[in-house]
Structure 1
Amino acid sequence: MQTFQINTKEKREATGDLFGIFFEDINHAADGGLYAELIQNRAFEFDPIDNKKYHALYAWMPCQLDEKNGQTDAADVSLTILTDSPYTKKNPHYLRITANSAAAGVKNLGFNSGIALEGGETYHFSCYLRKIDEPVTVKACLIGKEGQIYASCELTADASDWKKYTADLKIAEGTSCTDANLALVCMTPGSVEVDFVSLFPAHTYKNRPNGLRKDLCEMLEAMHPKFIRFPGGCLVHDGQLDENARDSMYRWKNTIGPVEERPARRNNWGYNQTLGLGYYEYFQLAEDIGAEPLPVLPAAYDPHHQRKVPLDELGPWIDDALDLIEFANGDETTVWGKKRADMGHPKPFGLHYLAIGNEEVGEGFTERYPYFHKAIREKYPDIKLIGSASPFAAGGEYERGWASARECGCDLIDEHYYMNTDWMIANVDRYDNFLSSDPKVFLGEYASWGNQWENGLAEAAFMTGLEKNVHAVGLACYAPMFANVDYVNWRPDMIWFDNHQVYGSVNYYVQSMFMRHQGTHRLDFTVTEPELEQTARLLAEQKIRESAKTISGPIRVLVNEGQGVFFEVTVKNHDTGKLHRFTDCVCGTESENRAASYENAVETGVIPKDWTNYTLTMKAKETEGKKGFLVYLGEASDHMLWTLGGWQNLDISMEHFKNGKGACLSEAMFSAEKDHEYELMLVVKDRTMKIYVDGEEYLDTIDKIPVPKPLYVSAALDEVTGDVIVKAVNITGNSQTAQLALDGVNGTHNVLVEKMAAALSDENTMENKKCVVPAVSEETIPDGTFTRTFEPYSLTILRIRQ
């Protein structure tokens, strides 16, 4: 039995704002999600540049109301999109409805299955109307699939100029539905022009106009996050350099002021952003849930398409950063502080953190970041500045980001990685040797690949490592946060929803437990174990290492979406001198674009399992294509993937895939050239790997073996309450008994126990939202030293009341 001796008398480093949340508009997290607007394409601005299937009338359909037969799509109406005289040039499209018979018009389909209506709720409707010739009475109504009208109002379009109309539509008690539409029909034949059709529930979060969806915000508030990072994510820096371009980078100044003046933009995840949820609303949300705002701004560089603002033209981009700080923190006598006050928030928001760049790669970022850093530091020395360390956990671009952060004197540096559970367990101690004198780590995006309890448990173990290393880790947030179940771009995700319901994944509850029980200061502890038990445990761990220490199996090669040849494939055993020569092969055909997958790769040979010290060499040439090569090593269920070219043909990497879930071990910049004959070499020593291309070393990495500990433990003091907090994670299938010895704690104490335990494959779903959730209980301990048994596959938090 292990003993954990916890020193409660001496508080160590402050935990600060360690655990927070990250919002990115991915998976329709904003429009159709957190942003409470119920009308999709409210201003007729959807465009093929957003998504190839989009057009200005996307989500709108002709509609005819019939009191006897309900609504029908076979409407006697003409719908025309115009741009010659819009309400605002920022959103130039509007709709002309020409009704050839009474009660003809248009309806909006909403998101998901339609518009969700709650019995007894009021909905704020608004639109802009303009008459063409004679005044026209327009009926706005919420209608069901069978034509039933849940609520309606009549508006008379009697002005030749654009005029805003508003009405409250109340739903009768007991008439909830999830598939309504909003119809706008002309009560008599005639023509009318329409723009900015909007429908909001009256009860948004905090009842704010242009507000947010109440149930989703309450999920966030319940977590008690210390900060919220926004608005992304890749959407921050992916786009044109021209701020007025429809597919521009995300520019915060386009997201404030009246919603009608916020230009619609392409979201790089394949849909449209209205920007109704903008920077003012993000700051307001942070304030409402008690979290520090942490905005991310682009660094005038798009790594996705290698677009760069010339260094001598960075001024407006740097001004954007300086003006944002003034918008958040300036008083009403400042230009941007007044703009905030005019929007309804005279008091400054209190911005303390600012990130420049998001998982950047290439010199384009490290050339430009210092200009931002210098200007911001000179004007606002108290703002904590955050650099970027690429989307990889190691390798050339990761090191480039760290070198830049050290040189510039960043307060924090943003690390991102998505890994399998094996990597999480093997790297719990990742930050043990990071220096407190370096910039602190901001783990701005991380997750394991999945929403099962196995994932939540691995993340919990990893988070104990973050807590124990607050000398080096300043901030951390799981990503992504939201996913609309009908519009998924990426998974896993923390919170899932549709148009009327929401549930938290197991990952959500793990994050929430750590946030609510973070404490204010880390506590030291030592671990001791009886000699015989320790010996047995160490022998068992050694067997795990020995059984997993080889990188072997089939060698499979593939030209990534092209064609080419691999030849002179050899592997040499450095222990025995034995040399195998394998099959040359041609990959791809002139008429076929080969899919990048293990199944489509060509096997050239097999490395014996007992080979632990060897060199694999080959030559490769891409004759058609633009993404380079893939080299697989191992079985389909457990293999290494060596990529040369990769995403956008920009990098070289080594990944470990287990049961389809990957962990990128290292990465560097590399672009494959067509018709170039490459000499490739992989040198393996147990789990270490060195990769060479044309004699140049690109990667030097190790695939750490996950060796489970009996328990993963962290301890903290809550200085506000005086409570001692102990977190214990048991990732094994056996109960683990340990003694907890709290120095400085004597006599009887009440203990709050919050615990999650489940089978590894258990998962919360829309059908079973509470499959795995925390259980809370109260216990009493007779003294500061006590014994406790921790269930298999469990996360337990003990809050010892003082």
Structure 2
Amino acid sequence: MSHARTRTRWRLALTATALLAASFLVPPPVSATPVSATPVNAAAEDATDYAITVDPKATGAKIDDTMYGVFFEDINRAADGGLYAELVQNRSFEYSTADNRSYTPLTSWATTGTAATADDDGRLNARNRTYLALGAGSSVTNSGYNTGLSVQEGETYDFSVWARADGSAALTVTLQDADGELAQARRVTARGGWARYTARLTATRTSATGRLTVASGSPAALDMISLIPRDTYKGHGLRADLARKIAALDPGFVRFPGGCLVNTGSMKGYDEESGWERRRAYQWKDTIGPVEQRATNANFWGYNQSYGLGYYEYFQFSEDIGAMPLPVVPALVTGCGQNQAVDDDALLKRHIQDTLDLIEFANGPVTSEWGKKRAKMGHPKPFGLTHLAVGNEENLPNEYFERFKQFRAAVEAKYPDVTVVSNSGPDDSGSTFDTAWKLNREANVDLVDEHYYNSPQWFLQNNDRYDSYDRSGPKVFLGEYASQGNTFRNALSEAAFMTGLERNADVVKLASYAPLLANEDYVQWRPDLIWFNNHASWNSANYEVQKLFMRNVGDRVVPSRATGTPSVIGPVTGAVGLSTWATSAAYDDVKVTGADGTELLADDFSGDASRWTHTGGGSWSVQDGQYVQSDEAAENTMVSAGDPAWHDYDVHVKATKKAGKEGFLVAFGVKDTGNYYWWNLGGWNNTQSAVEQAVDGGKSTLVSKAGSIETGRAYDIDIKVRGRQVTLYLDGQEWGGFTDDKPAEPFRQVVTKDKKTGDLIVKVVNAQAVDARTAVDLGSAQVRPRAEVTTLAAAPDAVNTETATAVAPVASTFSGVARKFTYTFPANSVTFLRIKKG
């Protein structure tokens, strides 16, 4: 997961007027009259808006069974309180203020009587350090996640606790909510040293606000208090509804455990003598074995993770859903804004050996050291690991690649059949991306992991992204991608992009939307594929698109082509703006001059700032002839001036960073708070600069370079806008430029063939507000007249929620198939036609 700024949903306007406002005009297809959204069979020579021509005799790219998969990262409480079925939060009393300032060992617990947490020689074990000392007649109650523990009437829940008592202690276990008892109370008796005690509770009512209480009649020490539903996915401890939704996608692979978890925090891990370093990067050996012996860790995303869902469970889940496991291990170069290379040769060698041990854990015989540990956990059969990724979104490509080569050499020497995956940094372009790809090509890497989160417009514009990739070079693993939102508009843009992924299946070998899960009460990132709370889950519109593609992939691309949508592209238009992000900065001598020399704006702030409109956060004021934003914590503090109709102009600004994490932002082409360009100098924790385009709040990077901004130094910034061409100058030197003239094509298609059934699968995305009457020419293909049709169609702003499913597939049949036929694809739709072989 890229630790970029949280970006608001981008509402792609698909009417001509709205697109013109976004500087792109994509008019409706040139149909003289409105057409019905109902499929129409007509003569091929009838007037149509589009034409799709298929060449069944030509051979297209082979599509691997693993083409589409899922990426699981413990973000948005995806593991504890999510896919991991444990209902008790902080079950081992390991929460700490060192991990989160709001945490204590009793977070999510309430006590009565005499109760205190302890960390001494009487602990359960070295990795489970903190326990609860409960006095006679005292109790402790857990409130779970979200609103409480969720239970279903008639379902059975397995309670367990590790307890220690001098003599004996009767423990009473109750489950209740505000309305009373939810299950019959149970009693267990603890005697002597630490031992595990169990009980079974059957819910007598359904509740989402349950509380679990353990009361003791005598002094006792408690740890690892647990309540897990008996009904978990295939009995393997995962929350059934969430696991079933993932399985229903029929994914070809599961990438895990991250993401930013992999390469953030200390790389040293757990040490038996000194304990563990807080905020550790995820290390697989911490996560296997009995759960009471697994170390708790601070999560990069601001909460703790128990590791009850660990590497063994990831492998097991992958096997349960028939997917290839694809673990990611740290490369000792931190990412996600940290950007440091760990210079410790002994530690590097240890991590390389840990990686070899991981492969042995997955694939080794039961007679091997780590294969024996796997077998002891209940799985003597190897998991069949074939792919393994090293690193995640490292922003230091040279340092990363020096370490990657050592990992790859060690793996290839001992396990030559395992593919080692590299990556290209945190974005879809820029100096880091270019350097990383150069290194990957030179080293003949097998697979390169690309990540990007962009606006829907970017996805509509970049369907051809992989058309020009070197067919003989490294292949692409698109490990993380999504447009910025969960509306149907976002899903449409992703569907349009996926047709390009399939067309280039000889280059793009793996692809996974990200993130996978989001607990609605603990959201660090959006968009997300599956949403849930403690009692329900629901599919996003994006999920429905992913499912449609995953379950209808086909085995080979059938070459095809389609006509496009006429487009008219006007110049970049808009006012100018100033902003900051977690930084205090001062601006002066703002000048905007038209291409003909006309002065449009001049402000040296010798007076007030009345020409500027404050649309963002922060604290702006005129100080000593400068316009100063003084709030170092505020994000996107935009102020703007000028006319949204301005075009073809030059902007000059003098900017000085005063304090904070980043640099400064100078905007142009500003239409409103969600539609603008800005030159982000010293962004991403002052590691790089880029031009970003915002369309309805969603941002895409147009050009970027590594670099930082000095505090206290005044910089001269000049931006030249001519038509759609923009050139940028820093201190009088040309920094870079771009031409933003790529149309956002709303009509995309791809055709594949299912080898097993012989079906032709015609996949069409119509991401515009009008129907698309289309002539389809199947060439010499022998086909039956009846096709199975699956359609996703909804309003662009439609969003699925817990209580309303606005976007769902509709199945139908179409009886008008011939070698040449006409079909009308509804407005704002994704349509799959499965055409039977004749």
TM-score > 0.5 by shorter chain: yes
1:595: Cα distance to partner? Answer: 5.8
Maintained 8 Å contact 2:585/2:629: no
Matched, 1:43 2:71: no
One of 29, 50, 65 as aligned partner of 2:78: 29
Matched, 1:178 2:215: no
Q: Provide the alpha-carbon RMSD of the alignment.
A: 2.2
Rounded Cα–Cα distance in structure 1 between residues aligned with 2:349 and 2:402: 14
Maintained 8 Å contact 1:311/1:368: no
Match of 1:69 in 2: none
One of 269, 272, 276 as aligned partner of 2:301: 269
1:592: Cα distance to partner? Answer: 4.0
Q: Structure 1 residues 52, 430: CA separation in 2 closer, same or farther (over 3 Å shift)?
A: same
Match of 1:687 in 2: 724
One of 335, 344, 347 as aligned partner of 2:369: 335
1:604: Cα distance to partner? Answer: 6.2
Q: CA-to-partner distance for each residue in 1:95-127, whole Å, 9 max, x for gaps?
A: 01113x4xx311111111111111221111111
Rounded Cα–Cα distance in structure 2 between residues aligned with 1:745 and 1:383: 40
1:347: Cα distance to partner? Answer: 1.5
Q: Structure 1 residues 327, 749: CA separation in 2 closer, same or farther (over 3 Å shift)?
A: farther
One of 816, 820, 823 as aligned partner of 1:788: 823
1:309: Cα distance to partner? Answer: 2.3
- 1:202-213 counterparts in 2 under 5 A? 202-208=230-236, 211-213=237-239
1:795: Cα distance to partner? Answer: 0.5
Maintained 8 Å contact 2:333/2:342: yes
Match of 2:258 in 1: 232
Matched residue type, 2:374:
R
Matched residue type, 1:582:
A
Matched, 1:400 2:428: no
Rounded Cα–Cα distance in structure 2 between residues aligned with 1:438 and 1:262: 41
Maintained 8 Å contact 1:240/1:307: no
Q: SS at the partner of 1:801?
A: strand
Q: Structure 1 residues 223, 704: CA separation in 2 closer, same or farther (over 3 Å shift)?
A: farther
One of 747, 757, 760 as aligned partner of 1:724: 760
Match of 1:137 in 2: 170
Q: Structure 1 residues 344, 697: CA separation in 2 closer, same or farther (over 3 Å shift)?
A: farther
Q: Structure 1 residues 699, 595: CA separation in 2 closer, same or farther (over 3 Å shift)?
A: farther
Rounded Cα–Cα distance in structure 2 between residues aligned with 1:475 and 1:694: 43
Maintained 8 Å contact 2:762/2:834: yes
Matched, 1:565 2:602: no
Matched residue type, 1:141:
T
Rounded Cα–Cα distance in structure 1 between residues aligned with 2:96 and 2:416: 42
Matched residue type, 2:108:
A
Matched, 1:310 2:331: no
Matched residue type, 1:301:
V
Match of 1:66 in 2: none
1:166: Cα distance to partner? Answer: 1.2
Unaligned runs of 5+ in 2: 1-47, 271-276, 607-619
Q: CA-to-partner distance for each residue in 1:555-598, whole Å, 9 max, x for gaps?
A: 2223444444333444555x545566732359667994156555
Aligned residues: 759
Maintained 8 Å contact 1:583/1:605: no
Rounded Cα–Cα distance in structure 2 between residues aligned with 1:445 and 1:564: 33
- 1:148-547 counterparts in 2 under 5 A? 148-159=181-192, 161-172=193-204, 175-186=205-216, 188=217, 190-208=218-236, 211-244=237-270, 245-303=277-335, 304-310=337-343, 312-313=345-346, 314-362=348-396, 363-527=398-562, 538=566, 541=567, 543=568, 545-546=569-570
1:359: Cα distance to partner? Answer: 1.3
1:299: Cα distance to partner? Answer: 0.6
Maintained 8 Å contact 2:296/2:305: yes
Q: CA-to-partner distance for each residue in 1:297-355, whole Å, 9 max, x for gaps?
A: 11111133344322633211111222222222222232222222221112211112211
Q: Structure 1 residues 782, 233: CA separation in 2 closer, same or farther (over 3 Å shift)?
A: closer
Rounded Cα–Cα distance in structure 1 between residues aligned with 2:301 and 2:596: 52
Q: CA-to-partner distance for each residue in 1:689-720, whole Å, 9 max, x for gaps?
A: 343434555544343444434x3110101112
Match of 1:4 in 2: 52
Rounded Cα–Cα distance in structure 2 between residues aligned with 1:557 and 1:782: 57
Match of 1:111 in 2: 145
Q: Structure 1 residues 391, 19: CA separation in 2 closer, same or farther (over 3 Å shift)?
A: same
Aligned identity (percent) is 40
Q: Structure 1 residues 688, 411: CA separation in 2 closer, same or farther (over 3 Å shift)?
A: farther
Match of 1:745 in 2: 781
Matched, 1:766 2:802: yes
Q: SS at the partner of 1:789?
A: strand
Match of 1:701 in 2: 738
Matched, 1:57 2:113: no
Maintained 8 Å contact 2:448/2:474: yes
Maintained 8 Å contact 2:158/2:227: yes
Matched residue type, 2:489:
E
Maintained 8 Å contact 2:117/2:130: no
Maintained 8 Å contact 1:568/1:581: no
Maintained 8 Å contact 1:618/1:679: yes
Rounded Cα–Cα distance in structure 1 between residues aligned with 2:484 and 2:223: 42
Q: Structure 1 residues 105, 749: CA separation in 2 closer, same or farther (over 3 Å shift)?
A: same
Matched residue type, 2:213:
A
